[in-house]
Every structure is written in C-alpha cells, then in structure tokens.
Structure 1
Amino acid sequence: MSLSISGKIAIVTGAAHGIGLAIARHFLDRGAQVVCADLDEDKLIAEFGDAARSEGPARIFAGNLCEKLTQSNLLSATADAFGRVDILVNAARSFAPSDPLDPSGEVLDQMLKHNLLAGLRLSQMTAKRMIAQAEKEDREEGEIGAIVNISALAGQRTQPELLAYSIACAAQDQATRSLAVALAPHRIRVNGVAFASVMSGSLQAALKGNDDWREAVIEGTPLGRIAAASELVETVQYLASTGAGFVTGQVITVDGGRGLLDRVQIPAL
C-alpha cells in the first residue's frame, strides 16, 4: 500500500494556522507541491515564504475563500504555478459557541458559511477542474483526484451550546458523503477527518487561561491527553494517497476515543 503523495499538487486551505498549517507543512515534507491558502497573508509569508520563492515547492495564496471569485482565482493560481491540481484539503474552519435559543441565527449563518459552504463550493469547482484535466490528458483509467474535508466530532455529538457549530459540522459530513457518491463515476474520492481533543487553533484559544476546561477535555479522552495538530496529518495523507484508493465517503474520527464515552452517571444499583 503506497501512502506516497510525492509529486502531487495539493491545495490546503486554512494553511496559516493550526491544523491547516500542520497539514501543509507535512505535505511539503512528504514531497508534494502545495498551494497554501488562507486569509492571513502575513502568517503565510512567515511560514512558507522561503519555500514559495523561485521554483520552490510551495505557493502562497491569500484571500477570503468564502467568496466564489477568490476560489476561482485560487484554482487559476494553482494551475499557473503547477499546471494542475491532484488533492484538495479543506482545512479552513471557524469556531464559535452559540445560544441555542437565539433566533437571530447570526452565528449559524457564520458557521455554515465558513465551515460548510466555502469548502463545498471549492470542492465542486476543484472537481470540475480535475475532470477537465483528465479529459485533456485523455486519462481514461485510474484515480484523477482526492478531496479531504476537515470536520469535527461536534457534528456527531449533541452539545446545545455548540448548536450552530455542530449543525455546520454535521452538514459538512453529509456533503462529504454526497459528493463522494456524485464524484465516484469521475474517479474522484471524497473523505473527511473529524477531530476532537486535537490542539487546533480554535481549541488553543478556547483553553487559554481555562485550566478547568483543559482538565475536563483530558479526563473525557480515554487516551488521557490532547493531541498535537501534527498527529492528525498522517490520516489526511492516507486519505489523499493511492493507499486509500478504495476508500470514499468516509469520515474518520481522530479523537483519542472521546466519542466513545457517554458521561451520564448511572446510579449505583
């Protein structure tokens, strides 16, 4: 089974921070050429400026990926730099708690826009580009592309204080499954990775100065710790590689066992 992504052309969104940054770095270390996309241009330059110079393996793309024109420009920039795209990793995410009884829907709109619609539309546009590439190259057999969506355990659990975020994650997981079926005849695989107890940028911010919550997360995780973002990337690489050539429509959970637990206390009998 080959897990190699060497020589592949990948787009990684959310590449300036947290999980997206870890994925982009890992892909570069494994020999892929990577377009690192994020809204934070300064951080992209700080992280990937050297690799993006001259004929280096990385390129930097800064822009608001919630906008269709920006997504189109990202694909054009990728084609200009590397000639094609083989892998898309939708790692750009935002997180916010919400009042489950708030009828305004502002947080829900934000979560759906950032965590569902942006990645879904970029996936659709990228898939069309992959299909056009295969037709141009007259490739009638073999995989022509892979898409990996970064999701969260919140989409599988019920936490009322995370109503908006949970809905967006659940919708993203369904989009992964639906796109997988739709794109299978075109030889494009679509999978997801749902994380929890992983030190993402949002979790790091939430835990800052909140030792009680940190301990609660650790105690609620059977493996007894919070994982580094780098521990998620091997799963992403697997799903992006030909080693996962018969895997599509799956959302693999990387959570240290946290989703296995039901924390409701049972009275002693």
Structure 2
Amino acid sequence: MNLENKIVIVTGSGSGIGAATAKLFSAHEAITIVADINLDNAKKTVSEIVKQGGTATASKVDVTQYDEVEKLIRSTVQTHGKLDVMVNNAGIGGKQQLKTADHTHEDWHNVIAVNQTGVFYCMKTALQQMSKQGHGSIVNVASLAGLKASGNNLSYSASKFAVVGMTKSAALEYARKNIRINAVCPGFTHSALLNQLLASAPNMDEKLKRFIPMGRFGEADEIAEAICWLASENSKFITGQTITLDGGTSL
C-alpha cells in the first residue's frame, strides 16, 4: 500500500481498532494524527508508533463538539499543509442491552452524538478541506449492526445504519471532486465494545461464536488492514462501498 507521507487523522485511535489503524498507517510511512477523547491513551499509541520508527502526534478531541473537530482539522492543515485521509473510527455502545420500548434516553442521545453526529462533523469539516485541495479519502468505521438487524441495540444499530447511508450519499456527491468515501463494517471484533458485550451475560463468548462461521472473533489488526487499503491508491476506483469483515456472520 502506497501511503508514504500521507497526512492521516484517525479518531478514537487511543485503543482498539483505531490504535491498530494508526499504527498500520505509520508502518506504511504515513504521518498520523492520533485523535482521541482520552489524551493519555492517544499519547500511548503515539509512543508505540515512535518506538517502531513512525511519525505521529497526539490530539485530544471530542467528536461530539463541532468546534473541537474544526480545531483538529485546522491545526493539522496548518502544520502539514493538507489532509489526505480521514478515518472516522470514534464510537461507543450503549450502557445497557435493552429492547426498544425500554431503551434509555441517555443511551440514545450519547450513542447518536458520538457515532452519528460525530461522523457527520468529521466528514463535513474534512470534506471542506479536501474540496479545497482537490483530493482526499475518507473511511468511516460502521458495523455489521449497520447492515442487518441487531436486537437490544437500537441506538447503536441506528447510528451505524446512518454511517453507511452518510458514506454512500457523500461518496455520490464528491466522486467527481477526486474524493473517495468508503466504510468498513466489522462484525464481532476484539475491542472495548466487545468486552462490554461479553460481560453482559454468562457464556456470551460461546453464544456469539455460534453465529460466526469462522468460529472466532476478529482482530483489530484485520480491520486496520482494510481501512488502510481503502485509504490508499490501491483502491482508487472504489467509492461509496462497505466492506464487511465478520468471519462470515452475515452469511
């Protein structure tokens, strides 16, 4: 993958899929801005990248705050002169797994704010810059829950279906401007969100794996590979697409 000297922002990259993605971009000699609401976690990711000989900086951002997103992208462009790739990975799950009638207002508003509105803010601001410079690639991290029904998970599912829709709509709008927008849709993948789900009921690990033909959960590094490929010139005729990485679950 040709990513050398690309200027890349990865949100939610203090841990999990985001951290794995930031590290992989850096391994391919991109210059990576590790953005996370938890600055200590972001700095930890940067430290690991630098130890491996990569180039990265940490930035604190709350994607639910438009002014913070604007500041992140503005400072990136002021420092590096451009923004080649925006990876919108920051996301959360609801605190409780409940049916729709019992779904809490708190979970609805918090999850939608991060997973849907946060992606909109990042796309909006990144696209303004990419339109000015005449190129760019955006990769949104959606979910298998954004492609098929996910019970007891309304706000998360709604937000990820929205991410898929926003990806396709924006890709249609900006294809002639040399800007590509795609999404990845991971299935059950080792992460803080999966750990939260596994802790929600006894034997949840075994129950979930029954639905995965490959019989295992995904790894963050495997999702990162797809993200970096979509962001690279290796996929330059691909836009508006979702790549499902789920070990066959959707089958």
What TM-score results when the alignment is normalised by the length of structure 1?
0.86
What letter corresponds to residue 114 of structure 2 in structure 1? H
Q: Secondary structure of the equivalent of 2:132?
A: helix
Partner of 1:249: 240
Seen in structure 2, the aligned counterparts of structure 1 residues 158 and 145 have a Cα distance that, compared at 3 Å, is: same
Residue pairs, 1:3-22, within 5 angstroms: 3-22=1-20
Partner of 2:57: 59
Partner of 2:127: 127
What letter corresponds to residue 133 of structure 1 in structure 2? Q
Residue pairs, 1:204-215, within 5 angstroms: 204-208=195-199, 212-215=203-206
CA RMSD, Structure 1 to Structure 2 (Å) = 2.0
Query: What is the CA-CA distance between 1:216 and the residue it aligns to?
Result: 1.3
Residue pairs, 1:25-104, within 5 angstroms: 25-49=23-47, 57-96=55-94, 97-102=97-102
Q: Secondary structure of the equivalent of 1:190?
A: strand
Q: Secondary structure of the equivalent of 1:259?
A: coil
Decide whether the 8 Å contact of 1:6 with 1:32 is kept in 2.
Answer: yes
Query: What is the CA-CA distance between 1:4 and the residue it aligns to?
Result: 1.4
Partner of 1:216: 207
What TM-score results when the alignment is normalised by the length of structure 2?
0.92
Q: Secondary structure of the equivalent of 1:160?
A: coil
Partner of 2:221: 230
Seen in structure 2, the aligned counterparts of structure 1 residues 158 and 130 have a Cα distance that, compared at 3 Å, is: same
Query: What is the CA-CA distance between 1:50 and the residue it aligns to?
Result: 6.8
What letter corresponds to residue 118 of structure 1 in structure 2? G
User: What percentage of aligned pairs have identical amino acids?
Assistant: 29
Partner of 2:190: 199
Q: Quick one: distance in 2 between partners of 1:175 and 1:227?
A: 25
Unaligned runs of 5+ in 1: 135-143, 261-269
Query: What is the CA-CA distance between 1:51 and the residue it aligns to?
Result: 5.2
Deviations 1:116-164 (CA, angstroms, capped at 9, x unpaired): 1111121111111012123xxxxxxxxx110000011112222330111
Partner of 1:170: 161
Seen in structure 2, the aligned counterparts of structure 1 residues 52 and 130 have a Cα distance that, compared at 3 Å, is: farther
What letter corresponds to residue 78 of structure 1 in structure 2? T
